[in-house]
Structure 1
Amino acid sequence: MKKIYTIVLSALLLSACTNPKSMSEKSKTYVPETPQLSSDVMTPEVLWSFGRVGNASLSPDGKTVLFAITYYNIEENKGYRELYTVPVDGGDPVQLTNTASNESNAAWCPDGEKIGYISSASGTPQLWEMNTDGSSAQQISDIEGGITGFCYSPDSKKIAYIKQVKLDDDIHDLFPDLPKANARLESDLMYRHWDQWHDYTYNHIFVAELNGGQIKGGTDLLEGEKFDAPDRPFDGIEQLCWSPDSKTIVYSSKKLRGKAYAESTNTDLYEYDLQTGQTRNLTEAHKGYDKNPVFSPDGKYLAWTSMKRDGYESDQTRLFVLNRETGEEKNYSANWEQNAEHLSWSKDGQAIFFISDIHATDEIYRLSLADGHIQRLTEGVHNYQTVEETATGKLLATKVSMSQPAELYVVDPANGSDQPLTAVNKGLMDQLTMGKVESRWVKTVDNKDMLVWVIYPPHFDPNKKYPAILYCQGGPQGTVSQFWSYRWNFQMMAANDYIIVAPNRRGLPGFGMEWLEQISKDYGGLNIQDYLAAIDDVAQEPYVDENRLGAVGASYGGFSVNYLAGHNESKRFKAFISHCGIFNFEQMYVTTEEMWFENWDIGGPYWDKSNAAAQRSYSFSPHLFVEKWNTPILVITGEKDFRIPFTQGMGAFNAAVLQDIPAQFLCFPEESHWVTTAQNGILWQRVFKNWLDKWLK
C-alpha cells in the first residue's frame, strides 16, 4: 500500500528550501535529491536513503516547530544532520543550517529570539546560537573539551550545560614514568558499559551566566562527586530541568559507584538551589528508577517517571507528581497498569500528556490533575513517540509505524485525528509498495490470547506459498509495537518475499503486568511456547510453506534463537539467525556489566546452589543443548558489545562448526549491540537476506 499525505510537499523540497542567509560559505552538507527507484520494493540502499526526522520542539509561543533531519551518505559512510523549522499551522519547512558539523541538541531560547545548538565546527562540541531564520550563527561557549548538552534558564539569563570532568587516575597518572604504557588497572565493577570503557571522567552539570559574551566556565553542581549526572550512556539533557523562576535545577542521577552501581537501578531526582548551593534528594524513599523530571508551567508541581523496585529495569514506569508547596507526592499510576513515558505539561498546567504502550501500539494519553482521570486520546496502527501541546490546544507529535519512518503530525485531542505536518520521505514513499500489516490473536498453550503481527510481502499473492520468518524480540521486555527500525525493519524483511510473524509473547509491555513479568526467571518456559504457538498458527495458512520456516532475533531474541536451535528436533525451522544473543548463561553472568539485570531476570549467580530460581534459569542456557543442534545458523555480533559480549556469539558459531552444522559468523569490530553505520547496515541486510534465501528458498 502507498502512503497518501494530505499536505503535499515536493519530492525535492528539502534540496530547495535552504535559507540563503545560511549560505555564506559553500554548502558542506548532504541533503540528497529523491532518487528515482527502479523497483517499488524496498532494498537496503533505499532503507538507508530515508531522511530521519527527530528532536522536535515547539517555539515558546507554540506556533513553530524546530526539528532535525539526518541523511546518510552511503558512499562516505557518514550521517549529516541539519536543523529546520515549520509552522504548526502547516507550510514548507525552512532549512536553517547547512554544514558538515551535524548540529545537535537544538533548543529555543525562552524569549523566542534565538535558537541554540551544539556544533563541533570549531573543533570541539560547543554551544552556538543563531537567529530563528538561521542567520548570524555565532559560537557562544569556549569550554575546554566541549559540552554534550545544554538548556536555557526560563529567564534566558543562565545556561546549564553538561561537561565531562576527569576525577579518576588513569594508568599514566599512576605511573607517569611510563608514558607509552597502554593498560587499565581496575579494582571495581562498571569499568565498561554498553559500548564504552570508562574513561575516568564523569558527566557533571554546570551553570553559567549568559551575558552576551563567551561562556568559559560556570558552577559545577556536583563538584568533586564521582557520579554521572545525567547517567551514562543513554541519558541526556532531558534528565534535568529548570524551575520556571530559574532558581533551582532538578536532575536525575544514580549516585552509586562500582559494584553498588552495577547491582542497582536506584536513580534519584536531586534539586539544586542556585542561591544557597545546596542539593537535596527529592526521591530518597523511592528505590527504582526516578527520571524525566518536568516542572508545571507555574512551578507548583514537578512530574516525573518512577519505578518501584530496585534492580528491576522493566518495572512499571509510573507517573508521579510532587506538590512543591505542600511536599505531597502522588502516584497517578496506582490503579493503572500501563507505562507512562515522554511527559509533557499542558499550557494551563492542569493536565499532563504522555505516551503509553497498549496492545502493541504507542498512544497519546492525557492525565487530568483535578480528578486523576487518565484518558486515551488516540487509537490506530502506529506509534506516537513524543507529544507537546501547541498554542491552539492541539498536539505536536512524532509518529511512526511498521510502514512509515518518523514524521511530525498535529493531533486533535478532541477526537484523536491527526494531520501530517512534514512529509520528508514522501518522494520515496510514493515510489514504494509496502506489505500489508495485520494483527491476529493466537491462543497460547495455557489458553491465553496473544497478539501477533503478521507482515506480508509487497504484491502478496494468496495463491502462492511463501517461506515465513518468526521474529523473536529482544529486551526481553522490549515491545513489538508499531516501531520503524533501520535494522530489524519488518517491511525490509517482508520485501525479501517472506511472511514475517512477530508475536507479542510473554514478557512484553502493553498487556498488563502479569503478562510482562512472567518471563523473569522463566527464559526457557512459556515465552518459548508463545513463539511456537505464533509460528504454528500462521504456518497453517494455505499461503505459508510450513517446510520453509526460519527464526531470527537479537539480544534476548538472539538467545531465543540459540535456545530454539537446541529444541528443533522436529526440524520445524530450517534456518536460524542469532544477533548478539546469549549463548552461555554462566559466562554471561561474569562478563556483562549491568548486574541488576542478571540478578533480577536470571535470579542471581550460578554459584549460589541454594537459589532454586537461579539454578532453574541456568538450566535454560543454550550451550547446554548444543549437541541437539541440527540446523544452519548465522551468528552476528559486534566487538564493542559489552552488554552481551561478542564471545557469546563466538561460542555459538564455534559450537556449530565443531559439529559440522552449516554456519556463518558476521562480526563487526567497530559496532556494539547495534549496527549504526550506513555501509555496515547495508552489509548486515545483505548477509541476512542471503542466509535466509540460501536455506529457505
Structure 2
Amino acid sequence: MALMTSLWSCDSKKEIASTDATFTIDTALTADEISKGILSPEILWKFGRVGSPALSPDGKTLAYTISYYNLKDNKGVTNLYVIPTSGGNPVKLTDATGSESNPQWSADGKSIRFLSTRSGSSQLWEITATGEDLKQLSKVDGDINGFNISPLEDKILYAMDVKVDMATIDKHPDMPKANVRIIEQLMYRHWNYWEDGSYSHVFVANFAKGNIGEAKDINKDEAWDTPMATDFDIAEVQWSPDGKNIVYVSKKLIGKEYAVSTNSDLYLYNLESGETKNITTENMGYDRNPAYSPDGKYLAWWSMEKNGYESDQKRLFVMELTTGTKTYLTNGFDQNVEQFDWAPNSQDIYFASGIKGTEQLYKINVASKQIAQITKGMHNYVFAQKRGDVLLGEKMSMSMAPEFFTVDEATGTETQLTKTNEHIYRHIKMGKSVERWIKTTDGKDMLTWVILPPNFDSTKVYPALLYCQGGPQSTVSQNWSFRWNFQIMAANDYVIVAPNRRGVPSFGKAWNEQISGDYSGQNIKDYLSAIDNVKQEKWVDENRLGCVGASYGGYSVYYLAGTHQKRFKVFIAHNGMFNFESFYAGTEETFFPNNDFGGAYWDKNNKVAQRTYANSPHKLVGNWDTPIMIVVGEMDLRIPYTEGLQAFNAAQLQGVPSKLLVYPTETHFVTKPQNAVIWQREFFSWLDKYLKK
C-alpha cells in the first residue's frame, strides 16, 4: 500500500462495529440542504457506501453491502442487499442489529453466507436469497475476520487472530496492572496498531450441512499474518476448484527483514499431506491476489519485481499447475493490473487498470495474450466480475460515489444497476471536472484535473486551490473520496487544480518511477507548472491561491511553504512528512524510505539519500511566511503525528499564523463521522479566512 494510496483506502486490524436494533440511518436531506443544492460535509455522511459485490453463480443476482451512518449518533452500520442484474429494486436482507461483511453465495445460488456482529462477535451467518431463514452457523471463541467455503461445500477456511508471542502480562504475571510494551525487534507497529503478540492465522474445518467441525490452524506457531497485513484480505486465501489445496499470501519474515522487505509469496497448502510449499521463491517483490481458474488448470496473481518498492508495476502472471510453467501474461503492457477475475471459460481474465487518470475494464486471453479495452470515459472502474453472461463492474467518478453497473463487453455499453444515492443527486448540483493537459518544465504533457464550482460563472473570479496528491505513487483519477472530496471543495466556491505530477501511475512506468529519490525535484516543478497555468485564466484570482495536501501531499505543502516565492496565501498540511530524518527513524515500513529516499540518513556515501535529506522541508522552515494549518492523528503510525507537531511549533516560534488540529483517536485518515465534519469545517474556515474577500 503506497504511502497514502492512502487517502482513498487502507484497511488494518479491523474494529468490530457496535450497533443495536435502535440504530437508525440518516439519509434524508433537510429543506435547507435542498434549497442550497450543493454538497456539504453533513450531506456526505448521508451517502450510502456500497461494497463487497458478489454475483450469484448464474449471474442473475448481485449480493452486496451498503454502509450507512448517523452523524448525530457518530456511528454506522453495514447491511446485506440483493438486486437482480436484469434490473429492479434492491432488497435489504438484514437489519441494524449487526454489521455484515464478506458475503458469499452457496453453490446452488439459494443462500448467502456472510459475517455478522449481531451475536456480539464476528461469526458466520446464512440467509436465503429471498431474506428468509436467518441463522448463525459458527460459534467460535473470538472473531472471524474472513472466510471461504470450498467449491464442494464440504470444508471451510476462516481467519482469526491467534496469540503467538508473549505480551508483557505473560512475562510478568505478578504485575497485572502494568501498562508497558517490551520490544526487542522490528516491526512492532503498523499503520494504526501495535503488535500485541497476536497474528492472523487461517483455520480449516469440515463444513457438513452448515455445521463447522473441529478446526486446524494451518499457520500454527507462525509469527506473521495470513492473510497479510495490513489489508488482511481473505480474498488472498483461495481454495483450489477440487478443494484439495489452499493458496494464500504471506510475508514470512521477522524483525528487521520484515520492516525493510516487500517480499511476500504465494504458499500452496495441501490438505491431505499438511505440507506447505512456496511457489514464488524466484520473485523478490510482492506476489499477491492469487486466483484459480474455474477449471483448476491455472493459477493467476499479480507480481511486483523489485524488493522494497511497494509501488512497482503490478504484472499479471499465470502458472499452469500441472507443469509449474509460469507466464508473464501482461509483458509489454505499460499499465498496472489491479483487481482481476477469471471468466467462466477459464481462458479470459477481466481486470481493472489505470490509463491517463482514469481506470477502465480490460480483458486478456491466456493463450494469445491479447488485451482488449472494454470501457472508456471519464470514470474509474475498480472491480470486474463475470458470472454466467453478466459482466459486473463497480464504477465511480469525481461526481458520483461508487455504484454497480453491468457492462456489455462487446460494445462497452453500461447499464447502471444500483442507484444508492439517487435521492441526494436529485437535489445536489456537482461541479464540472475538466481534463486539461499542461506542458511541464521538461516539455512533457501532464494531465491536470480542474474542478469548477457547481454554479460556475466564467465572468466571475474565484480563488483556487492547488491539490497535492499523496502516495506519492497514487493517481489523481476519477475517484470519489469520502474524505478529500473535490466536490465539497468546489461547492465552497473554489477552483481545484489537481495535477497528475511525476510519480503517479497510469501514465507509464517511467512517469511513475521518476519521483523515487527526487522528492524535491521534477514533481515539485510539475505542481507549480499546473497552478501557474491555471491561474492565468480570467476566472482565477492569482492573488487568492491556496495549497493543500495529505501524506506525501502534506510533505509537498511543507516543502512549497519554504519555496513557493509568494504564490500562495494559505496552506493546509494533513499528516505530512516534515523532518525526513525523524520520519525515517519513526516510521514502521522502512522499505518505503529506503526506496523513495534512497536509503538511511546516516549513510553518508549514498548520494541519492544525502540529496533527499538535504532537501527536507524542515531545513527550509526559515523561509516560512504564509499562514498554515496542520492536521495530525495521534494513532497515525505511518507518518507519526510528531511530524506535524514539529511543523506547528516551528511556525509558532517564528510568528507565522498557524493552527493545529490533533485527533487523538484518528490514524493516517480522519474516518469517524463527527471528527470528519469538524475537519471539513476547520478546513474551509481556515481557507476562507485568507482567500475569501
Q: Same fold (TM over 0.5)?
A: yes
Quote the residue 2:411 is aligned against: 415
Q: Which amino acid aligns with 1:674?
A: F
- Following TM superposition, by how much is the alpha carbon of 1:100 offset from its aligned partner in structure 2, in angstroms? 3.0
Query: For residue 633 of structure 1, what is the aligned residue in structure 2?
Result: 628
Name 2:461's counterpart in structure 1.
465
Uncovered stretches (5+) of structure 1, i.e. residues with no partner: 1-24
The equivalent residue for 1:425 is 421
Q: Which of 542, 545, 549 is 1:546 aligned to? A: 542
1:574 corresponding residue in structure 2:
569
Which residue pairs with 2:16 in the alignment?
none
Output one character per residue of 1:631-689: Cα deviation in whole Å (capped at 9) or x when no partner: 00000010000000000000111100100000000110000000111111111110101
The residue matched to 1:349 in structure 2 has which SS?
coil
Q: CA deviation at 1:68?
A: 0.6
Q: CA deviation at 1:137?
A: 1.3
Corresponding residue of 2:96? 99
Question: Secondary structure at the residue paired with 2:208?
Answer: coil
Q: Which moved more, 1:526-535 or 1:227-236?
A: 227-236
**Which of 236, 241, 245 lines up with 1:244 in the alignment?**
241
- In the alignment, what sits opposite 2:202? 205
Q: Does residue 133 of the first structure (1) align with residue 130 of the second (2)?
A: yes
1:311–1:596 Cα contact (<8 Å) kept: yes
Q: Could you tell me how far apart the structure 2 residues matched to 1:684 and 1:486 are?
A: 12
Quote the residue 1:22 is aligned against: none
Superposed CA RMSD in Å reads 1.2
Distance 2:406 2:556 in 1: 39
The question of 1:334 aligning with 2:331 is answered yes
Aligned partner (choices 222, 225, 240) of residue 222 of structure 2: 225
Q: Are 1:300 and 2:305 matched, yes or no?
A: no
Deviation digits for residues 603-654 of structure 1 (CA, Å, limit 9, x no counterpart): 1110110111100010121000000001000000100000000000001111
The 3-state SS of whatever aligns with 2:582 is helix
Alpha-carbon distance between aligned partners in 1 of 2:192 and 2:223, rounded to the nearest angstrom:
20
Q: Name 1:503's counterpart in structure 2.
A: 499
Q: Is the 8 A contact 2:56 2:387 kept in 1?
A: no
C-alpha contact 2:27 2:47 (8 A) present in aligned 1 = no
Are 1:694 and 2:684 counterparts?
no
| Distance in structure 2 (CA, Å) of the matches to 1:80 and 1:227 | 30
The answer to whether the 8 Å contact 1:247/1:275 transfers is: yes
How many residues are paired up?
671
What TM-score do you get using the length of structure 1 for normalisation?
0.95
For residues 513 and 226 of structure 1, the distance between their equivalents in structure 2, rounded to whole angstroms, comes to: 35
Equivalence for 2:677: 682
Specify the SS of the correspondent of 1:463: coil
- Specify which of 561, 564, 570 is matched with residue 560 of structure 2: 564
- Say whether the 8 Å CA contact 2:236–2:288 is kept in structure 1: yes
More divergent stretch after superposition (204-213 vs 27-36)? 27-36
Counterpart of 2:321 in structure 1 is: 324
- Matched residue type, 1:98: D
What SS class does the counterpart of residue 283 from structure 1 fall into?
A: coil
For residues 405-450 of structure 1, the C-alpha deviation after alignment (integer angstroms, 9 at most, x for no partner) is 0111011111112110011101100111111111111000011110
Over residues 204-255 of structure 1, what are the superposed CA-to-partner deviations in whole Å (9 max), with x where a residue is unaligned? 0011111236536411111111121111221311111111111111000000
Q: Secondary structure at the match of 1:627?
A: helix
Q: Does residue 403 of structure 1 match 2:399?
A: yes
- Alignment partner, residue 379 of structure 2: 382
2:259 is equivalent to residue 262 of structure 1: yes
Partner Cα separation in structure 2 for residue 483 and residue 35 of structure 1:
27
The reply to whether residue 612 of structure 1 matches residue 613 of structure 2 is: no
Matched residue type, 2:474: G
Partner of 1:144: 141
TM-score normalised by L of structure 2: 0.95
Which stretch of the first structure deviates more once superposed, 126-135 or 683-692? 126-135
Question: 2: distance between equivalents of 1:417 and 1:443?
Answer: 34
Following superposition, the deviation at residue 110 of structure 1 comes to 2.3
Which is further off, 108-117 or 276-285? 108-117
Does structure 1 retain, via aligned residues, the 8 Å contact 2:248–2:268?
A: yes
| Alignment of 1:309 onto 2:306 | yes
Which of 531, 535, 540 is equivalent to 2:531?
A: 535
Contact 1:64 1:87 in 2 (8 A): yes
- Aligned residue in 1 for 2:367: 370
Unaligned runs of 5+ in 2: 1-19
Deviation at 1:142, TM superposition (A): 1.4
Q: What letter is aligned with 2:375?
A: T
Preserved CA contact (<8 Å) 1:110 1:153: no
Distance (Å, rounded) in 2 between the aligned partners of 1:375 and 1:214: 44
> Among 346, 365, 388, which residue is 2:343 paired with?
346
Go from structure 1 to structure 2 and tell me whether the alpha carbon gap of 1:28 and 1:539 turns closer, same or farther (over 3 Å shift).
Answer: closer
Read off the aligned partner of 1:390 and give its amino acid letter: R
Shift of 1:28: 4.7
| Letter aligned with residue 457 of structure 1 | P
Q: 1:585 aligns with which of 556, 577, 580?
A: 580
- Kindly provide the amino acid, as one letter, of the partner of residue 498 in structure 2: A
Q: Does 1:518 align with 2:514?
A: yes
One-letter identity of the residue aligned with 2:75: K
Match of 1:668 in 2: 663
1:379-413, Cα deviation, whole Å (9 max, x unpaired) = 10000110111322x41111000000011101111
Cα distance, 1:258 vs structure 2: 1.4
1:646 to 635, 641, 653: 641
Which among 56, 60, 64 is matched to residue 57 of structure 2?
60
Q: Residues 464 and 82 (structure 1 numbering): CA distance in 2 closer, same or farther, change over 3 Å?
A: same
Structure 2 counterpart of 1:596: 591
Q: Deviations over 1:37-73 (max 9, x none)?
A: 2311111101111111111110111110001111110
Does the 8 Å contact 1:111/1:156 carry over to 2? no
For residues 118 and 199 of structure 1, what CA distance do their matches in structure 2 show?
Answer: 24
Q: Is the 8 A contact 1:297 1:347 kept in 2?
A: yes
Counterpart CA distance in 1 for 2:557 and 2:156 is 49
CA–CA distance in 2 between the matches of 1:114 and 1:156?
Answer: 13
Question: Are the structure 2 counterparts of residues 678 and 325 from structure 1 closer, same or farther at C-alpha, using a change threshold of 3 Å?
Answer: same
The answer as to whether partners of 2:330 and 2:369 remain within 8 angstroms in 1 is no
CA distance in 1, matches of 2:653, 2:38: 39
Amino acid at match of 1:602: F
Partners of 1:580 and 1:644 within 8 A in 2: yes
- What is the aligned partner in structure 2 of residue 162 from structure 1? 159
The whole-number CA distance in structure 2 between the counterparts of 1:185 and 1:672 is 23
Counterparts of 1:407 and 1:126, CA distance in 2? 27
In structure 2, relative to structure 1, the CA distance for the partners of 1:469 and 1:567 (3 Å cut) is: same
| Other-structure match for 1:177 | 174
For residues 28 and 696 of structure 1, do their structure 2 counterparts lie closer, same or farther at Cα, with a shift above 3 Å needed? closer
User: Which among 260, 274, 278 is matched to residue 277 of structure 1?
Assistant: 274
Cα pair distance change 1:92/1:168, threshold 3 Å: same
How far off is 1:113 after superposition? 2.6
Residue of structure 2 in register with 1:50 after alignment: 47
- In 2, Cα distance between the equivalents of 1:250 and 1:397? 25
Opposite residue 209 of structure 2, the aligned amino acid is G
CA distance in 1, matches of 2:622, 2:60: 64
Supply the distance in 2 between the matched residues of 1:315 and 1:271 (Cα, whole angstroms).
Answer: 24
Aligned to 1:119: 116
Please say if residues 363 and 374 of structure 2, whose CA atoms lie closer than 8 Å, have aligned partners that are also in contact: yes
